């Protein structure tokens, strides 16, 4: 009986030590992304990076311009927000155990520079003579199939084949 008690006590201690070891403090990060006028920006990409561990994750803001990383390890993070037509914004934050953080972003409007190149070199048209043109005989024109023309009955050659 004493052996069973020692074995049970040993298993119980191991179980508690595993539970204590597996508990890790987590934190969370949330915020909103707006434009300069304060309008919410949906579909903005939010990237969360932690350099020492190599942690990297990203998500898009919802229709209310909100983002949330619910369970992340505490540490020093870099948060980068991008959206087409707006400038990229980056912030650094130290997230602490069990202390949810709220970091909001207001993106500035980015001008888009687009260059359109127009060339003024045009094809030259020969309007003085017909050196490029070809002469086509009447029989060649009549032999061409056309919509609405029954080709086998139109040419004398095809008539001779059907007689």
Give me Rg for the CA atoms of the chain. Answer: 39
pLDDT of residue 151: 52
3-state secondary structure of 49: strand
**pLDDT (tens digit, 0 to 9) for every residue of the chain, 163 residues total?**
566 666 666 655 565 555 544 556 899 999 999 999 999 999 999 999 998 889 999 999 999 999 999 999 999 999 999 999 899 999 999 999 989 999 999 999 987 777 777 777 766 676 777 666 677 788 887 777 776 665 555 555 555 544 4
pLDDT of residue 153: 52
Q: Which structural domains are found in the chain, ordered by start? A: 25-106 (2.60.40.10)
pLDDT of residue 49: 95
pLDDT of residue 61: 95
The CA distances from residue 16 to 11, 21, 22, 95, in Å, are: 9, 9, 10, 28
pLDDT of residue 137: 81
Q: Tokens in use for 69?
A: 């990383």
Residue with tokens 């202390």: 99
């Amino acid at each position: 009986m004493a052996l069973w008690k020692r074995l049970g006590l040993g298993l119980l201690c191991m179980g508690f030590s595993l539970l204590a070891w597996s508990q890790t403090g987590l934190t969370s990060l949330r915020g909103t992304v707006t434009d300069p006028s304060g309008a919410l920006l949906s579909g903005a990409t939010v990237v969360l990076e932690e350099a020492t561990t190599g942690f990297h994750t990203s998500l898009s803001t919802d229709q209310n311009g909100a983002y949330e990383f619910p369970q992340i390890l505490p540490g020093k993070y870099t948060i980068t927000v991008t959206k087409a037509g707006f400038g990229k914004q980056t912030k650094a934050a130290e997230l602490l155990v069990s202390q949810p953080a709220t970091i909001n972003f207001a993106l500035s409007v980015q001008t888009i520079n687009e260059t359109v190149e127009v060339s003024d070199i045009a094809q030259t048209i020969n309007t003085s003579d017909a050196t490029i043109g070809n002469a086509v005989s009447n029989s060649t024109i009549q032999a061409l199939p056309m919509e609405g023309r029954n080709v086998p009955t139109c040419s004398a050659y095809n008539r001779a084949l059907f007689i």
